[in-house]
Structure 1
Amino acid sequence: MEWKDTNEDENMDQENDCIIIEQSAEDMADQRKHNGNLFYKENNYYEALKCYTEAINLCPTCAAYYGNRAATYIMLNRYKDALEDARRAVEIDNTFVKGHLREGKCHLALGSTPAAIQCYQRVLLLEPENTVAPHEMQMAQKVQELSDLAANDFASGETRRALFYMDRCLEMSPACNRFKIHKAEALAILGRYQESQEVSNDVLQRDQMNADAVYVRGLCLYYQDNVEKALQHFQQVLRLAPDHRKARDVYKRAKGLIAKKEEGNVAFRSGKFVEAFELYSQALSIDPYNKFTNSKLYCNRATVCSKINKLDQAIEDCSKAIELDDTYLKAYLRRAKCYMETEQYEEAVRDYDKLTKLDKCRENKRLLQEAKLALKRSKRKDFYKILGVAKEATDDEIKKAYKKRALLHHPDRHSHAEPDVQKEEEKKFKELGEAYSVLSDAKKRLRYDQGQDLEDLDGPGFDHIDPNQIFQAFFGGNQGFSFGGGNFGGMGGSSFHSHSSQFPGEFTFQFG
């Protein structure tokens, strides 16, 4: 009996010790929670996190501790960890309203809008007067609406508007990788490659195996004409996700683009310009979003056009190349040369000026000066054209040209014509005198060829030139010319006759 009683007493003491220990653990856990609350209010979330974790370790069946740690994880933007704690809290206590609210907030932040809406509906069942749940449920519904709109815009090619919707979604769902990837893809399509890579890299820092983020990085490389590295990224995507349709499609397009562009280059180098033009055109139809590669293709096709004398088409292709890449030096250079060949000198000066700003090399500066000189020349009278001779014409050729045209446009020959015709012929006759006075003088002709202004030439200006004096001096001061019924200038001696008074045939000179 006594032994038995002793044993019973010992067993009772052990049970009492256990109760004391359990009570002590709960008290310690509660103290840790209290400390965590103080740190939380001071925005010291890392210390708060430590306290709540200690409380959970001491008492792992208290829903409030998990709820508090979930709130702390949310403040640290660790929504996946917060979601795990919130779920554990409502598993322990399904009536824990704050647990349901925090689970909904995590689902919303992560872009799981249907799950978020369910959580908020559960809150309203438990607490119909709750004011937080309706507001956040509306946010979740708005995110779902914007996400659907963005998907439709992506499908219809309205990328800029889709990007706007994605930014709105991310304001309410900042931890949603799916929205981030859609945003990064939109930025890549719009040519904002640096921003796109920053967004995709942000995803990869948290999830290195995210195939979609790797795909977007490859897309940026592909659109920047770094095709080889892009292909490596697409291959990595297909290893991570063999059924990744977008990666497979772009990989196929990239391979096709490389092949078609090279075919065009081979045809061009072989002198098969028509074939090269067709191949470059086919390459341009492969992917309209690949701006840098397409810019090069347009410039290549422009080069082909310049070879087959389709200068207008060449200018158009260069303009498209520059529109896709406004720093593309070769496109500016090619277009400027085409402008020079088509005598569009103002446009040529504009392109050479832009080219010089992008690359201040000596050759570009020289080309700019030549274009400016050509523009200056184009704004003055073309004396070679007036006389109808080439710029390399000899003195004899210039004299013969003047002799022929001066007789053709002399006012006396048109004395019976309509007043407008007389006026026009007088103008042409005067211009012939101006042209001959410059081109027949070696010094003046040289300065004219160098592009100097007419008023800078030696001697009096053209207003002082008497075309009749030049005519008389050319044919001799004592000779006379008869135009039909009239006699020009009282120059005596010789006469000039036509076959009729209307001068339909050639003129003949008679020197007495």
Structure 2
Amino acid sequence: MKQKLAEEKNAVGDGNIVSENYGLAEQNYSDAIDLWPSNALFYGNRCKSCFMLGEYKRALEDSKNAVAIDGNSKMGYEYMARCCLIFGDYDGAERAITSSSRINHHENEYEYLKDLRKMLENYAQRSIDCFYLKKYFDAVLIANEALKMLPESVAFKLFKAKCFFNIGDVKELKKLESAHGVPQADRSYIKATRFYCEGDLVEALSYLDQALTFDLNHDKSFYMKEQISRIHAKKMNGDDMFAARKFRQAIELYTEALDGDMPKNSFVCVLQYSRAKAQSKIGNFYNAIQDCTSALGIWQDNVDALLLRAKCHEYLDNFREAMLDYETLLQKGAVINNLQQFEMMTSKVRNLNVLLNHEKAEKQKCYGDEKYMANQFRAALILYGDAITLWPQNVSFYKDRIECYIKLKDYKAAIEDCQTAVKLDNTFFKDYDRMINCCLIIGDIFGTERAIQKCVEAG
């Protein structure tokens, strides 16, 4: 009686398969199996409905049940081979194809699956080689080629997720969370990797727990949970040390959290910035700059890291680098809502620009001195002129250029520079002497008298 009812349920399931109502068909076949659990055909049929629904893991389990009950189950071996290919079990696929072809004696019928297995295995090996060389984008391209051959492949979808995790591509990870055919445990795992990349370790741990609820033997989730828990604890302890002003201990804990081959993600960025703050507190500005630069390499819009790096450059008198960072902050509009900070940074950029020009001016002055010592007065004149342009308030540059003008017998130009020099510093009487001498040389009596009068007035 039960067997007859089971056959009726199976027949209804067959009708739903034809109508493409695979969910209903799966329920019909499940009812049939409950009534007649030793019927290999029912498992084969449910395997097919699960396969069509994208529930490949259940399909694989049913295919194994089918061949366990009936070693000659053609449907069981065929779907076992297909599911093994989907999950990247190429040895299992080969065994299933071989068993099926031996039972049914139709070698040509399985040539397509044989060829597909070889191609997929080749793609898998090539993509793995690229992955270990950290050529993640190349690995993804190869995986995409494999997915053109077998769009249902869960193995290559998960492999892509692994690559995107190492790249830190949150957008692509989010797409893969809803990829067709990916088991629930793997979906939760991919979500965990996305939150890990975003720096939300608490949410990542939550999804890893969810993955382990779906599959207690989900090794990837277990190992990632272990890693994240360790890193999270180090980060929290480091923050506690920082708050207690124990900066060296904080640096050690942040360094321990960063140890290992971690993918570049937002949390790594947070750790690097945290360590940079601690380094700056003990005066390790070079190390702080390195950490800030690494953090900005992951997240270029990290305003905190950019501001800290600017300050560290300023402490080290790296005026050019500091100014560039402050200008970048202003360009990003990072302080637009804080008028006081905006004015402070604008002032810093202006002051640093002045300091940078002073630095350049001093260099031009040194080059000018070299030319002057080599009796190359015209070349020295140009270099002193450059220095004056960059730092027009520096009286010493005018004095150097006056000497060049006198050597070149350009007394009128020398007089003009003497006049500027005494305006900047009227206590340096040598400039008056030069001006008087130059006026006498060119026969400027009135100029000579004025220069003498100013010299007397200056004391």
The TM-score normalised by the length of structure 1 is 0.57
Counterpart selection for 1:76 from 38, 53, 75: 53
| Comparing 300-309 and 52-61, the one that deviates more | 52-61
Q: 2 CA distance for matches of 1:223 and 1:140?
A: 33
CA drift of 1:322 comes to 0.9
Task: Report if aligned partners of 2:178, 2:187 keep a CA contact under 8 Å in 1.
Answer: yes
Q: 2 CA distance for matches of 1:427 and 1:105?
A: 78
Q: 1 CA distance for matches of 2:382 and 2:126?
A: 73
2:319 counterpart SS class: coil
Which structure has greater helix proportion?
2
Do structure 1's residue 333 and structure 2's residue 307 form an aligned pair?
yes
Gaps of 5+ in 1: 1-17, 389-408, 438-462, 496-508
1:326 counterpart SS class: coil
Q: 2 CA distance for matches of 1:221 and 1:359?
A: 30
Distance 1:249 1:280, change over 3 A: closer
CA drift of 1:78 comes to 3.7
Counterpart selection for 1:296 from 257, 270, 275: 270
2:333 counterpart SS class: helix
Cross-structure match for 2:102: 125
Cross-structure match for 1:420: 376
Task: Report if aligned partners of 1:339, 1:347 keep a CA contact under 8 Å in 2.
Answer: no
| Comparing 181-190 and 157-166, the one that deviates more | 157-166
**Larger of the two Rg values belongs to structure:** 1
2:376 counterpart SS class: helix
Do structure 1's residue 190 and structure 2's residue 167 form an aligned pair?
yes
1:100-119 aligned within 5 A: 100-119=77-96
CA offsets per residue over residues 119-158 of structure 1, 9 Å max, x none? Answer: 3223433555554411112223443444455566666666
1:466 counterpart SS class: helix
Letter in 1 for 2:113: E
Task: Report if aligned partners of 2:238, 2:253 keep a CA contact under 8 Å in 1.
Answer: yes
Q: 2 CA distance for matches of 1:89 and 1:278?
A: 57
CA-based RMSD: 5.9
Distance 1:261 1:471, change over 3 A: closer
Cross-structure match for 2:229: 251
Do structure 1's residue 36 and structure 2's residue 15 form an aligned pair?
yes
Q: 1 CA distance for matches of 2:40 and 2:250?
A: 73
Cross-structure match for 2:330: 353
Structure of higher RCO (CA pairs closer than 8 Å, 6+ residues apart): 2
Do structure 1's residue 285 and structure 2's residue 254 form an aligned pair?
no
Cross-structure match for 1:317: 291
Aligned length: 411
1:489 counterpart SS class: helix
Counterpart selection for 2:439 from 489, 493, 500: 489
CA drift of 1:323 comes to 0.9
2:99 counterpart SS class: helix
Do structure 1's residue 466 and structure 2's residue 445 form an aligned pair?
no
Gaps of 5+ in 2: 396-412, 441-447
CA offsets per residue over residues 296-331 of structure 1, 9 Å max, x none? Answer: 343344445555665554433322121122232211
Q: 2 CA distance for matches of 1:192 and 1:59?
A: 49
2:291 counterpart SS class: helix
Distance 1:89 1:281, change over 3 A: closer
1:34-433 aligned within 5 A: 36=15, 40=18, 43=20, 45=22, 70-80=47-57, 82-83=59-60, 97=74, 100-147=77-124, 181-193=158-170, 195-196=172-173, 199=176, 207=184, 210=185, 217-218=191-192, 220-228=194-202, 230=204, 240=216, 244-245=222-223, 247-260=225-238, 262-263=240-241, 265-266=242-243, 269=245, 280-285=254-259, 288-289=262-263, 291-304=265-278, 306=280, 311-339=285-313, 342-344=318-320, 347-356=324-333, 360-363=337-340, 365-367=342-344, 369-371=346-348, 373-374=350-351, 377=354, 419-421=375-377, 424=380, 431=388
Identity %: 20
Q: 1 CA distance for matches of 2:239 and 2:432?
A: 72
Letter in 2 for 1:36: G
Q: 1 CA distance for matches of 2:166 and 2:350?
A: 43
CA offsets per residue over residues 16-35 of structure 1, 9 Å max, x none? Answer: xx9xxx9xx89x96995898
Task: Report if aligned partners of 2:120, 2:146 keep a CA contact under 8 Å in 1.
Answer: yes
